[in-house]
Amino acid sequence: MKKSLLYSAVATATVIGITACSSGSGSDVAGIGGSGVTSSGTITGFGSIFVNGVEFDTSSSTFSVDDNPGTESDLAVGMRVTVNGSINADGITGTATSVTFDEELQGPVSSVSPVDADGVSRTITVLGTTVLLNSTTTNFDISGTQPGPFGFNNINPGDNVEVSGFFNSTGVLIATRVELKEQTFVINSSIVELRGTITNLANTSFNLVGFAGISIDASVAAIDDLPSGLINGAFVEVKGTCPDISCTAIDATRVEGETDGFDDDGDVELEGIITRYVSDSDFDVDGFPVNATNAQKEPASLVLVEDLLVEVEGTIVNGILVASEVEQEDGEIKIAATVTGVPTANSFELLPVSGQPSITVTIDTSTEIEDEIADINSAALLNVMTAGDYIVVEGYDDGTGTVIAKSVHRETPDDVLLEGVVTATTGDATSGSVTVLGVIFPVDIDTDFEDENDIDYPDPNDFFTAITRGSSIVKIKDKKAGGGGNNAVGIADEVDLEQP
């Protein structure tokens, strides 16, 4: 499997033109082009390194990987990194002086949930933390010579894993990358790591905020990185071992001071989940306070709420990130369908239902690409993509019906999937249709209708009274021929209400 950014020199030039001509903005939308910047976010591609939609030249960079000197080859798509450097006036290229990677936590998997009915998500528990995995957006890797197999469908209790991602408002870690460090966790030997704020300090024992069920003994730990020693309220990273597989107790070998902020008057790009929301002028992204009162939003219809993944650009003023732009990083739209026509430099068309309108999908420098068909070593997927290729897209509507892709995967052909806001319906559950993104999807007597709790409606027509056209989000699945669907291809096998 090869990950690459869906970009060529032609595509880059095209996007520069689009950015320069977009309404109310120039190439320096966020006001930080041509300046020094700290950019915190996930890696979406290489060549040199793409973070938060910017291609950073790393030819003169230093690298720190898990607190050790490293190289670019130690990094991978899905890792959450901090880049210090500068961004050019075009807003999409820059130069990195340093790149730092630290995982959110590392430890043994204590439980694994079944895969959900749609095969999209499941959870694991690591060091008492619930970690949400997504079959299309979580990247999986194997460290060193570990035998595997390892991935969304191959993860087991006892695996020692390293997790990158973002915590949501309830403390669930939304994984962007999971790496298998060891197939079998070894007590008193395998390394565990976690970060948080010291609390309940008693001599050299303490807890970390967010890890209340784990006690940490730092009596033999190196703490030379903490000028004031162990104190309540210090934000630290703990490394150590566990005397048993439960890891409810950790024998720390090292406790290091960590920074959870940015320098005042500094320009910042921050990707993260909104963990607290009061108003547009008072909310937190990844726990950091943000004021977006005067920020430009992308899309313009963006409504900020808790647990939304966003990228915020702006300047730190008195410890608050004063945003000039807030961009949605995940979307309510999911499409799995085949390509129709010939892709252009920065877009392609997907056709969920033959005879219905196709859906235009556009990409930009922040789009993450995964290709399971060919070993593409450069940003060339659009150049090899052809009609009939099966593509899985997640993104959002730009307000005109075009989907701005946050992730694009080319995969082996499978079921057609269309998820988005339902704009119209006709008829009833036996001979009607549901319209999403301009595609009129037929339904019939064999179509299954489910509510937001994945429970079948006793009367399928209750689905039509439960939705609000123009705001409810539905998911339509058309199973491929021979895939167990009740209906012919082109007629919905399932229609689920995802959000009333």
454-499 pLDDT, tens digit per residue, is: 889 999 999 999 999 988 899 999 987 655 556 677 899 999 998 8
Cα(101)–Cα(456) distance, rounded to whole angstroms?
Answer: 45
Q: What percent of the chain has pLDDT over 70?
A: 90
Whether residue 338 is predicted with pLDDT greater than 60 in this model: the reply is yes
**Residue 10 pLDDT grade (very low, low, confident, very high; cuts 50, 70, 90):** very low
Q: What is the pLDDT of residue 5?
A: 33
Distance CA 58, CA 83 (A): 10
> Phi-psi category of 127—alpha, beta or left, where left has phi over 0 and alpha has psi -120 to 50?
left
Instruction: Characterize the bridge pairing of strands 333-340 and 309-317.
Output: unpaired
Tell me the average pLDDT across 331-349: 89
Residue 158 sits at φ, ψ, to 5 deg, of 100, -20
Q: What percent of the chain has pLDDT over 90?
A: 62
- Separation CA 158–CA 173 (nearest Å): 19
Per-residue pLDDT tens over the stretch 258-309:
876 687 777 999 999 999 999 999 999 998 999 999 999 988 888 999 999 9
What are the tokens at 114? 């079944």
Domains and CATH numbers, the chain: 31-101 (2.40.50), 105-182 (2.40.50.140), 192-257 (2.40.50.140), 267-328 (2.40.50.140), 333-414 (2.40.50.140), 417-499 (no CATH)
Considering only CA atoms, which of 446, 451, 493 is closest in space to residue 472? 451
Give the whole-angstrom CA distance, residue 155 versus residue 186. 17
pTM of the model: 0.76
Task: Say whether pLDDT at 11 is over 50.
Answer: no
Tracing tokens 């999937």 back to the chain, one arrives at: 417
The C-alpha angle 27, 32, 34, rounded to 5 degrees, equals 75
What is d(CA 47, CA 195) in angstroms, rounded to the nearest whole number? 30
Specify whether the CB–CB gap between 401 and 439 falls below 8 A.
no
Within 13 A of 120's CA, how many CA atoms are on the CB side? 14
**Distance between CA 57 and CA 3 in Å, rounded?**
18
Report whether the peptide linkage leading into residue 458 is cis, meaning its omega lies within 30 degrees of zero. Answer: no
Measured distance CA(100)–CA(80) in Å, rounded: 9
Which tokens is 252 given? 């720390």
pLDDT in tens, 179-200: 999 999 999 999 999 999 999 9
| 390-394-398 Cα angle (round to 5) | 115
Tokens of 54: 């910017």
- Using CA atoms, how far apart are residues 107 and 331, in angstroms rounded to an integer? 30
Give the tokens for residue 224: 């030379």
Cα 236 from Cα 43, distance rounded (Å): 24
